[in-house]
């Protein structure tokens, strides 16, 4: 284990090698600061791949095409709605449950109404349980893909029906017979 000893006889002589090692360590510190930020996309990727955290499947491009429908399976889909902040909202699914066959395209919708006296923009975020089912739950169209604008209460544009089209992948694990799709409604940050 040979290491430069230049610094020992005269402390000033070694200052160059001190600079090198301090520089390397500083670089490591900066890289780790970057790594902290890198964990943000990494986290999303890992959640996406594993369906962890109930992140639903990506928009399936093949969804519109013919997918073999699993006629022999029935899955109950439950729709849940919740509101994050204590805002004046009505937010609820039009139907509470549906019985679906994997591989077939279904339509559902949620109703939302702004009860406050000013216009708001809102965003819904989905979550699927059980997590194991999340990545087989594909949405081809969803009000959660974009922000939703609402006028103040009284205006006809204060409320709307928001559509949702989904298809469950026939590869969904055989032990899953009930899937809960939950939406949480948030006021968009810009509005606060």
Stretch that binds another protein, among 10-18, 96-104, 112-120, 173-181 (CB under 8 A): 10-18
33 binds another protein (CB under 8 A): yes
- Provide the token pair at 182: 């939950």
Q: What are phi and psi of 175, to 5 degrees?
A: -80, -5
82 binds another protein (CB under 8 A): no
Q: Of the candidates 149, 179, 150, 154, which has an alpha carbon nearest to the alpha carbon of residue 166?
A: 179
180 binds another protein (CB under 8 A): no
Instruction: Closer to another protein by CB, 14 or 170: give it.
Output: 14
115 binds another protein (CB under 8 A): no
Instruction: Closer to another protein by CB, 85 or 117: give it.
Output: 85
14/168 Cα distance (integer angstroms) = 67
Write out the residues near another protein by the rule CB under 8 A: 1, 3-9, 11, 14, 17-18, 21-22, 25-26, 28-30, 32-37, 39-40, 43, 47, 50, 52-53, 84, 123, 125, 131-132, 184, 186-190
């Amino acid at each position: 284990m040979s290491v430069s000893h230049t610094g020992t006889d005269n402390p000033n002589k070694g200052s160059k090698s001190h600079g090198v090692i301090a520089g390397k360590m500083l670089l490591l510190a900066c890289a780790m600061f970057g790594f902290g930020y890198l964990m943000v996309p990494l986290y999303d990727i890992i959640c996406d791949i594993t369906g962890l955290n109930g992140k639903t499947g990506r928009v399936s491009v093949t969804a519109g095409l013919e997918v073999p429908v699993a006629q022999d399976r029935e899955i109950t889909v439950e729709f849940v709605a919740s509101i994050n902040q204590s805002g004046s909202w009505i937010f609820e699914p039009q139907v509470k449950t549906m019985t679906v066959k994997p591989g077939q395209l279904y339509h559902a919708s949620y109703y939302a109404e702004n009860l406050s006296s000013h216009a708001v923009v809102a965003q819904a975020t989905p979550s699927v349980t059980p997590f194991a089912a999340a990545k087989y739950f594909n949405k081809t169209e969803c009000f959660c893909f974009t922000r939703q604008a609402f006028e103040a209460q009284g205006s006809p544009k204060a409320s709307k029906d928001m559509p949702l089209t989904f298809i469950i992948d026939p590869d969904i694990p055989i032990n899953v017979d009930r899937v809960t799709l939950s939406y949480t409604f948030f006021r968009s940050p810009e509005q606060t």
